[in-house]
Chains A and B, each alone.
Chain A
Amino acid sequence: MSDHEYTPKSKAGKWFNDRLPLLTLGSHLTDYPTPKNLNYWWTFGGILTFCLLTQIITGIVLAMHYVAHADLAFGSVEHIMRNVNYGWLIRYIHSNGASMFFLAVYIHIFRSLFYGSYKSPREVIWIIGLLIYLLMMATAFMGYVLPWGQMSFWGATVITSLFSAIPLVGESITTWLWGAYSVDNPTLNRFFSLHYLFPFLILGLVILHIWALHVPGNNNPIGIDIRKPSKDTVPFHPYITIKDAFALLLFLIIFSGFVFFSPNVLGHSDNYIPANPLVTPAHIVPEWYLLPFYAILRSVPDKLGGVILMFGSIFILFVLPWLDTSKVRSAVFRPMYRHFYWVFIADVLMLGYMGAMPAEGIYLILARIGTVYYFLHFIVVLPVLGLLEKTDPVPMSISEPVLSGGADPALAKKDYDKI
């Protein structure tokens, strides 16, 4: 990034760029050398940026019509649905947009896990990404409270009560979060304020995420360091922009499918009942994107223990770059990790399913097995695999396996020298 030389062609451009080098930044972004073998799993960064901007724009519009008061919130959301011009469309884009955002972020995270994108020298990108993910969960949770339906109210009660598990100060923290002695109007008010703020914090972190990415450059499917720019790279524009745009179109087809054909399928019908502090819905479930963590919470028969494991399941991801001892990044060259990767995916999906089921009988047993395996994967499997696994030979460049017809390290060496 720092070695990028750029001089604007026009005199005015040069005058401006000498005072604020925005044009240099633009030129860096368009010319940014990108590995030429990036597959479609790499298009989700662009898709996620789109999702964030969609949520911010539709959210600002919704805030023009929404009223953050316990007596008026539910009615104002119905007002948006029935009276505001295109209000139904904007609200359905916003509510389904949250789900699409999480769908994309999960694919983005699992791509990183498969190709080892979290490993040196990209640990900081990974950690910033996790902070974005945490903020996303907080934002989505608070947004879900705003319509002030039954699921909003009781979801808010259950999630904020998690903090009451903290010894000694738990109750005070919960009361402080509520601003009352139960979830009430002050809670709704502050959640609205923070729900408006957090997306802009996310936007700031996204800029840092991309900045941190542009220092070492992209990882790629074979997980090798690319000397750039070289014949292994292509400029970001137009090669990646057009590919990202195409992937975004496909993504938008799915997005539109939800918005126009089944806008409520990812929600809960209970949330169309106004909040009632006297009656808890028979079956409280969080939104689908939080289900695996919910399953972990419920699988522990102890309040504090459940809360610790649930938060632990997210915070363990922060130390993942140091738990994975393998020097080889991509799972393409890790025959054993490849299997454990899919077992882990199956485990997370199973936990998600158990989170949606009642916590009893066989569901509870499977959730417990899933929880134990989740932690084993990070604490035992990954550190040990790095020591035991015999990895396949890694090519020296992206072009080499194509040009030589196979991964021959001797040929690769020569090819590497020529670059």
Chain B
Amino acid sequence: MSKEEKKVNRRDFLFTASYTVGAVGLGAVVWPLVDQMNPDKAQQALATTEVDISQIEPGNSITVLWRGKPVFLKRRTQEEITEARSVNLNDLPDPQKDEDRVKKGKDEWLVMLGVCTHLGCVPLKDKGDYKGWFCPCHGSHYDLSGRIRKGPAPTNMEIPKFEFVDNNTIKIG
């Protein structure tokens, strides 16, 4: 009896083969049902937004909508840049130099996603303990470079892909 049980016979092979084909078939059917929930072609079409920045005075900022998310464009004053660069990197939860968050030669322009990296709220400008942004939802403080300084947010505010088309226009995306 025990000898027969151990022996792999035709029926065992058929069972295993049927289950395998069945599982693959099931997966093939389930995947479209799962994947349909991902962003569709219309959403994926990497919308680019061109922004006219000629009207922004130093120290001021504007907010534009890109892919359904707010983007902050801040023209920083020289003092603000100096202050953002005087920070000891060891004091930062997510260490990153201010120089790495702006385009070279365009240091006054801070362009970043206005989305708190904690749970996605829009931080308020010119608020908080570090003169940058403050998220009212769960109390995250960002500095003049959009770096997280205090609160539950894990990372700095994200810098989107962007470029200067000319001196007065920024293209996001």
Contacts and interface: CB of A to CB of B under 8 A. Distances in A.
Interface string A162-185: 101000000000011111111110
Interface residues of A, number: 37
10 contacts: A157-B119, A158-B120, A158-B137, A161-B119, A176-B37, A181-B67, A278-B122, A300-B152, A302-B154, A358-B139
A111 interface: no
B73 interface: no
A179 B43 contact: yes
B118 to A, nearest CB: 6
A158 B138 CA distance: 10
Contact of A180 (B39, B115, B139): B39
Contacts of B38: 175-176, 179
Contact of A298 (B37, B39, B67, B152): B152
Contacts of A359: 138-139
Nearest to A302: B152
B6 to A, nearest CB: 38
A306 B118 CA distance: 11
Nearest to B47: A181
B169 interface: no
Interface residues of B, number: 26
B136 A303 contact: no
Contacts of A190: 37
Return the 8 tightest CB-CB contacts between A and B, nearest first.
Answer: A182-B68, A161-B120, A161-B119, A280-B121, A158-B119, A280-B122, A157-B120, A181-B67
A161 B151 CA distance: 16
A190 B138 CA distance: 27
A183 B39 CA distance: 11
Contacts of A183: 68
SS of B interface (majority): loop
B65 interface: yes
B69 interface: yes
B154 A303 contact: yes
A181 B137 contact: no
A303 B39 contact: no
B68 A181 contact: yes
A298 B121 CA distance: 14
B40 interface: yes
Nearest to B43: A180
Interface of B: 37-40, 43, 63, 65, 67-70, 115, 118-122, 135-139, 151-154
Contacts of A178: 39
A277 interface: yes
Contacts of B151: 301
A303 B69 contact: no
Contacts of A216: none
A154 interface: yes
Contacts of B37: 176-177, 179, 190
B38 to A, nearest CB: 5
Interface string A278-319: 111111100000000000001011111010000000000000
B69 A182 contact: yes
B122 A284 contact: no
B70 A277 contact: yes
A71 interface: no
Given A161-B119, A306-B152, A186 B68 contact: no
A278 B119 contact: no
A18 interface: no
